[in-house]
Amino acid sequence: MRKIDTVADVMAGLDALCRADPRLAAIRARAGEVPLRRVPPGFASLVSIIISQQVSRASAEAISGRLARLVAPISPHGIATAGDEVFREAGLSRPKQKTVRAVAEAFLAGQIDLDEVCRLSAGEAITRMTSIHGIGPWTAECYLLFADGHPDIFPARDVALQTAVGHALGIAPRPGEKQLSGIAESWRPRRGVAARLFWAYYRELKGREAVPAAADVQLAEK
């Protein structure tokens, strides 16, 4: 299965999903535009996704913007050598300060290579990334979706995706992680496009974006 590199890949994936699961045609119609959502791979994008953990999109954008002004460029060395006052001024919580430092140290020590990680299977890549303190499955999954264009990952822990799928498919209360993972199995091997579809559906349902802010720093079309 090819990676999701272009808008055409998203459109082709949506067409295939709707043929395989006719319920998705009406969901696609309501969702409107389903963006590509690709970001440059690398350390800075991973830091942005870490910042997006468990905070509102507006908060994540504000924190990322302040950090980018204080640590320019955002690099493993820049993060590892930044003082605590830099992170406090940027607005990072103590757990996130610890995580971004741990990631920077892992990069500098050669313990992780994101290019190498993206050549692994999804399961192996997630295992490798989550071996770093503070990186959980959601962060790893979102990095692989947005920075690598992985075609078959669905972050079932994401509350917006749980809400969107629950509303779209008439499931109340909204499905939890385990139930949503089971539902998403039917969308293999295009779960990455399905996730984009339901984030777009959530945007139309709630009138606001819930996808991590880092995902809107678009790569140029190939």
Q: Do residues 100 and 164 share a domain?
A: no
List of residues 6+ apart from 113 with CB closer than 8 A: none
Measure the CA–CA gap between 53 and 45, rounded to whole angstroms.
13
Per-residue pLDDT tens for 171-216? 999 999 999 999 999 999 999 999 999 999 999 999 998 887 666 5
Q: Is the pLDDT of residue 218 over 70?
A: no
For residue 111, which phi and psi values (nearest 5 degrees)?
Answer: -80, -15
pTM, two decimals, is: 0.92
Length of the chain: 222
Q: Tell me, yes or no, whether 139 lies in a domain.
A: yes
Q: Do residues 203 and 130 share a domain?
A: no
Nearest to 218 by CA among 161, 151, 147, 152: 147
C-beta separation of 189 from 152 below 8 A: yes
CATH of the domain at 93: 1.10.340.30
Per-residue pLDDT tens for 70-129? 999 999 999 999 999 999 999 999 999 999 999 999 999 999 999 999 999 999 999 999
Q: Tell me, yes or no, whether 221 lies in a domain.
A: no
Q: Tell me, yes or no, whether 202 lies in a domain.
A: yes
List of residues 6+ apart from 189 with CB closer than 8 A: 1, 151, 152
Q: Do residues 167 and 91 share a domain?
A: no
Domain boundary pick from 94, 127, 146: 146
Number of domains in the chain: 2
Q: Do residues 63 and 133 share a domain?
A: yes
Q: Do residues 173 and 208 share a domain?
A: yes
Q: Do residues 122 and 52 share a domain?
A: yes
Nearest to 151 by CA among 161, 159, 141: 141
Q: What is the pLDDT of residue 213?
A: 65
Domain boundary pick from 91, 116, 146: 146
Whether the ω angle into residue 151 lies within 30 degrees of 0, i.e. cis, is no
Per-residue pLDDT tens for 16-37? 999 999 999 999 999 999 999 9
CATH of the domain at 206: 1.10.1670.40
C-beta separation of 160 from 130 below 8 A: no
Q: Tell me, yes or no, whether 220 lies in a domain.
A: no
**Structural domain of 90:** 43-146
